[in-house]
Amino acid sequence: MNISGFSPVSSNYASTANRSTGNAASAGASGRRAEEGQNGQLSREEAAEVAELKKIDSKVRQHEMAHMAAGGGLVTSGASYTYQKGPDGVNYAVGGEVGIDTSSGRTPEETIARAQRIRAAALAPADPSGQDRAVAAKATQMEQEARGELAQQAMRGATGADGDEPRQGKLAGYLAADKPAAGSSVNIYA
């Protein structure tokens, strides 16, 4: 994943769906049709599979909506879903992703703020996926690098051109040299 480009924040429940549908998937279409009643109702196994797919679909959609809500202006594309067709002929979402802009800001301060928002968007769902955690880790790394750059800028700003004496010390020395000693000046225009 390239932290300076666009990266998806994704979740994938397909493995759960495939585990839950393993037995039904191995049964042939003719076997399923033989189990159906005269009125075209689903078998018990198929009904259980549909119930599981509905549960996964709901979970996937909530997960992706959490990313979109927390991502705000960083979302580059709405949620896109991976579907699995259930025994009832309906497509159910079993995975999804939301595009998040993970590019850095123009300044270290902007980069820190963006990294915090990226991390919040990646970890927004109640059950972040491995991909979500990877995006959050990249955002944390981006924030740390920006903080390091900010610290270096502060150090460069605190030292003089020669890097030996702090600017504050040089300025104080200059101001002290221009001040006359107390009582050494006389006002002759009285």
Which tens digit of pLDDT belongs to each residue from 141-154? Answer: 999 999 999 999 99
Angle at the Cα of 106 (from 160 to 152), degrees rounded to 5?
30
Strand spans (E) along 132-189: none
Instruction: Tell me, rounded to whole angstroms, the distance of Cα 45 from its chain centroid.
Output: 38
Mean pLDDT of 156-177: 58
pLDDT tens digits, 4-47: 233 344 444 544 444 443 333 333 443 444 444 445 699 999 99
Confidence of residue 163 (pLDDT cuts 50, 70, 90): low
pLDDT tens digits, 65-121: 999 999 989 999 999 999 999 999 999 999 999 999 999 999 999 999 999 999 999
C-alpha closest to that of 67 among 136, 15, 144: 136
Confidence of residue 173 (pLDDT cuts 50, 70, 90): low
- Confidence at residue 112, expressed as pLDDT on a 0 to 100 scale: 97
68 close to 98: Cβ distance less than 8 angstroms: yes
Q: So where are the chain's domains?
A: 6-158
- Confidence at residue 157, expressed as pLDDT on a 0 to 100 scale: 84
More confident residue, 165 or 103: 103
- Confidence at residue 168, expressed as pLDDT on a 0 to 100 scale: 56
- Confidence at residue 158, expressed as pLDDT on a 0 to 100 scale: 74
The three state secondary structure string of 15-64 is HHHHHHCHHHHHCCHHHHHHHCCCCCCCCHHHHHHHHHHHHHHHHHHHHH
The tokens of 57 are what?
Answer: 């679909």
Bridge partners (DSSP) listed for residue 113? none
More confident residue, 165 or 5: 165
Judged by DSSP in three states, 187 sits in coil
